[in-house]
């Protein structure tokens, strides 16, 4: 997704957002195929996962994704200064000496890892406001 939004060494946030929406539509289609092919027990599990529930979370599942989430969250405070500068705009952050492209890449990878691990255990929680 990051590679799709990157052209000439610059990352377009709008392109990344639109590519993410397209990827989400593809994932929904694949989920639909899984639902179609599932038996009764699998269908129940898929439904709970789609609704976003911690009911199926076990310590084993949490233990498997916990280190990923903890590492990603532990790294984020080190990005705070750069992200604050980035809030002023990419050009301003660059003039302040912030490596903008590296910061954006690091933040995207860290947040994606934490969110992906969380969704793997609990399922997705829909957020229609961004669309």
Mean pLDDT in residue range 99-111: 91
Residues 6+ apart with CB under 8 A from 122: 52, 53, 54, 57
- Give the number of other CB atoms < 10 A from CB of residue 54: 11
How does residue 127 score in pLDDT terms, banded at 50, 70 and 90? low
pLDDT digits (tens, 9 = 90+) for 13-33: 778 788 888 888 998 899 899
Q: What is the pTM of this model?
A: 0.69
pLDDT digits (tens, 9 = 90+) for 50-104: 887 777 778 898 899 999 999 999 999 999 999 999 999 989 999 999 999 899 8
Residue-wise DSSP of 10-31: EE-HHHHHHHHHHHHHHHHHHH
pLDDT at 126 (0 to 100): 66
The range of the structural domain enclosing residue 60 comes to 2-130
If one counts the domains in the chain, the total is: 1
Q: Regarding predicted confidence, which is higher, 18 or 11?
A: 18
Q: What is the CATH number of the domain that holds 100?
A: 1.10.3470.10
């Amino acid at each position: 997704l990051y590679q799709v939004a990157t052209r000439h060494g610059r990352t377009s946030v709008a392109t990344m957002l639109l590519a993410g929406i397209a990827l989400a539509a593809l994932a929904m289609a694949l989920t639909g195929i899984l639902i179609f092919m599932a038996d009764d027990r699998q269908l129940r599990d898929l439904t709970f996962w789609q609704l976003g529930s911690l009911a199926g979370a076990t310590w084993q599942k949490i233990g498997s994704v916990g280190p990923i989430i903890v590492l990603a969250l532990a790294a984020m405070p080190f990005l705070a200064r750069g992200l604050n500068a980035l809030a002023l705009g990419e050009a301003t952050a660059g003039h302040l000496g912030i490596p903008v492209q590296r910061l954006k890449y690091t933040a995207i990878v860290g947040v994606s890892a934490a969110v992906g691990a969380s969704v793997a255990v609990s399922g997705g929680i829909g957020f229609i406001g961004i669309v």
